[in-house]
Amino acid sequence: MARFRVAIAERTASLLVLLVAWEAAARWARSRLFPGPGSVLTTIADEAVHGGLLHDLGATLSRVAVAFALAMIIGTVLGIAMARSRAIDTLLDSSIVLLLNLPALVIAVLLYIWLGLTEAAAIAAVTFSKLPTVVVTLREGARTLDRDLADMAQSFRLGFWRTFRHVTLPQLSPFFLVASRTGLALIWKIVLVVELLGRPDGIGYAIQVFFQLFDVRRLIAYSLAFVAVVLAVEWGVLQPLERRLARWRR
């Protein structure tokens, strides 16, 4: 607990350094295009209550959630299938390599052209950008599944679901976590580009609008709110999950 308090103190100190430096730079610049932390923070509060911040944040987050879930589910199924079957692996491998190296921007533009400027196209673009890393990671994980434990599950007749839940999933969980983390980091960045290109709401759309208005105060306010949510998910969801899954390790 003491170590936890020290960590909080350190974090607060480094945040203070950042804020002071920012404030000093803003005072020195004295420009509408370089607002200080005070005015940005009040803008965040103001936009949250009266403006569209919460709506845009909600739109972006729901896109992230849906695309993340889709990519994880499809990627896990494909990854396991490719690890299990040489035929499937051979058939899909080139597509995965291509998708892995295709810039997210290209995927987004093409999908908007083919599917129109729709929600489906936006979510598909984010999903496809993340999918190949999930497939590759989970394929790696599924290749290392323990044959002995599978035999144990079969001889004790655990059945498909109990085997999947108690024997297979825990072995895949480290790979699942890696895929979640790298995938989420990727999604946070791609979703804004996708919104900027062809959506009428969301943080990415807002940033485009503020860019055109040269409204730097709001631009930074929206970005910071977004970063705060990303960090909250990282610290509030992923890290506790990771600790929970690693409980059994000595």
Partner 1 sequence: MASVTVAIAVDIHEKRYPGRARAEPVTALRNLQARVAPSEFCVITGPSGCGKTTLLNIVAGLDRDFAGTLSFAPSDGGVPRIGYVFQSPRLLPWRTVRENIALVRPRHADRTELEGLLTDVGVADMADAYPAQLSGGMARRAALARAFAIAPDLLLMDEPFLSLDAAAADRLRRLLLRLVSARPATVLFVTHDLAEAVELADRVLVVSPAPGRVVAEMPIVLPRDRRRDCNTLAALRTELTRLAGHPIEAPDTAKITFSRRNSLTPTKE
Kindly list the residues in this chain that would bind partner 1 in the complex (CB under 8 A).
148-149, 151-152, 154-156, 158, 162, 166-167, 170, 247-250
**CB nearer to partner 1: pick between 169 and 231:** 169
**CB nearer to partner 1: pick between 167 and 209:** 167
Provide, rounded to whole angstroms, the least separation between the CB of residue 172 and partner 1. Answer: 11
Provide, rounded to whole angstroms, the least separation between the CB of residue 176 and partner 1. Answer: 13
Q: What are 83's two structure tokens? A: 């690890």
Provide, rounded to whole angstroms, the least separation between the CB of residue 247 and partner 1. Answer: 8
Provide, rounded to whole angstroms, the least separation between the CB of residue 150 and partner 1. Answer: 9
Spatial contact of 228 and 45, defined as CB atoms under 8 Å apart:
no
**CB nearer to partner 1: pick between 27 and 162:** 162
Sign of the torsion angle spanned by Cα atoms 176, 177, 180, 183: negative
Provide, rounded to whole angstroms, the least separation between the CB of residue 169 and partner 1. Answer: 9
CA 58, CA 131: separation in Å to the nearest integer? 23
Spatial contact of 64 and 208, defined as CB atoms under 8 Å apart:
no
**CB nearer to partner 1: pick between 127 and 163:** 163
**CB nearer to partner 1: pick between 30 and 243:** 243
Q: What are 17's two structure tokens? A: 């350094």
Give the C-alpha distances (Å, rounded to integers) separating 67 from 37, 84, 119, 135, 190.
33, 25, 11, 15, 11
